[in-house]
């Protein structure tokens, strides 16, 4: 009986922790004094970026099976859908910033920006788009699990590293401590899943993988 209780308490705790890891930075950013001097589009663009960072945390947790109550199959399905949501969030982020100040966004996209964090964000963006496109075409291209992993893992590392450096270097609406904590969790979850799933192994498939 105590085991059963502990299990459900643990399940609840993990989900609450995840909600806090993503919710607290968003709530803290919502209290930022900078918002007073931004218009709706700029605010939306900023929060789309924060949400995107939160989604980057969810991805390794889903694929690693660390979120209790989700079967391996459902975890993978959710990973796919959240990948799509990540693309939407990034498009809103970039689109909103372009609308806010076209020359600054053009500088960023052409890698001629004075801000050191811009290229990291732009590189992560292209890696996200690349993963999404290849994932959508995976079946049509006939990519096997192993080939897919070889393509996805380096891009996943670029996405995580690029997003984290991008976020940390920005002086914006995110509160420093909650931002650093979220970034640390993103890095930790990514390293853990790559170790646990032995993504660099040369053969074979793990639980729930196709083919």
Which residue ranges make up the site for other proteins (CB under 8 A)?
Answer: 34, 37, 39, 97, 100-104, 106-107, 112-115, 117-118, 169-172
Identity of the residue, 83 or 172, whose beta carbon is nearer to other proteins in the bound complex: 172
Smallest distance from the beta carbon of 92 to other proteins, in angstroms? 16
Q: Which is nearer to other proteins, 34 or 161 (CB)?
A: 34
SS3 of 211, please?
Answer: coil
Residue 6 and residue 62: Cα distance in Å, rounded? 22
Alpha carbon dihedral 73, 75, 81, 85, in 10-degree steps, equals -170
Residue 1: other Cβ atoms inside 10 A: 5
Minimum gap (Å) between residue 150 Cβ and other proteins: 34
- The C-alpha atoms of residue 48 and residue 111 are separated, in whole angstroms, by 21
Torsion of CA 177, 178, 182, 188, to 10 degrees: 40
Select 35 or 157, whichever has its Cβ closest to other proteins.
Answer: 35
CB of 78 to other proteins, least distance (A): 31
Q: Between 42 and 186, whose beta carbon lies closer to other proteins? A: 42
Q: Which is nearer to other proteins, 128 or 167 (CB)?
A: 167
Shortest distance, CB of residue 163 to other proteins, whole angstroms? 14
Sequence-ordered list of residues with C-beta below 8 angstroms from that of 77, at least 6 positions apart, any chain: none
CB of 99 to other proteins, least distance (A): 11
């Amino acid at each position: 009986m105590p085991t059963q209780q502990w299990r459900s308490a643990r399940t609840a705790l993990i989900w609450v922790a995840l909600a806090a890891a993503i919710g607290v930075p968003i709530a803290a950013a919502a209290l930022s004094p900078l918002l007073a001097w931004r218009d709706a589009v700029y605010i939306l663009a900023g929060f789309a970026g924060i949400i995107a960072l939160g989604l980057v945390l969810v991805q390794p947790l889903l694929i690693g099976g660390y979120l209790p109550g989700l079967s391996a199959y459902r975890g993978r399905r959710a990973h796919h859908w959240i990948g799509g949501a990540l693309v939407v969030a990034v498009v809103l982020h970039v689109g909103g910033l372009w609308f806010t100040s076209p020359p600054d966004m053009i500088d960023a996209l052409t890698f001629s920006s004075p801000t050191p964090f811009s290229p990291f964000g732009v590189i992560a963006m292209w890696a996200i788009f690349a993963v999404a496109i290849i994932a959508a075409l995976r079946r049509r291209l006939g990519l096997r699990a192993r080939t897919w992993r070889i393509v996805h893992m380096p891009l996943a590392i670029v996405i995580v590293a690029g997003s984290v450096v991008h976020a940390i270097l920005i002086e914006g609406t995110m509160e420093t401590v909650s931002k650093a904590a979220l970034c640390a969790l993103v890095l930790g979850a990514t390293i853990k899943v790559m170790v646990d799933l032995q993504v660099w192994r040369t053969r074979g498939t793990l639980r729930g993988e196709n083919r």
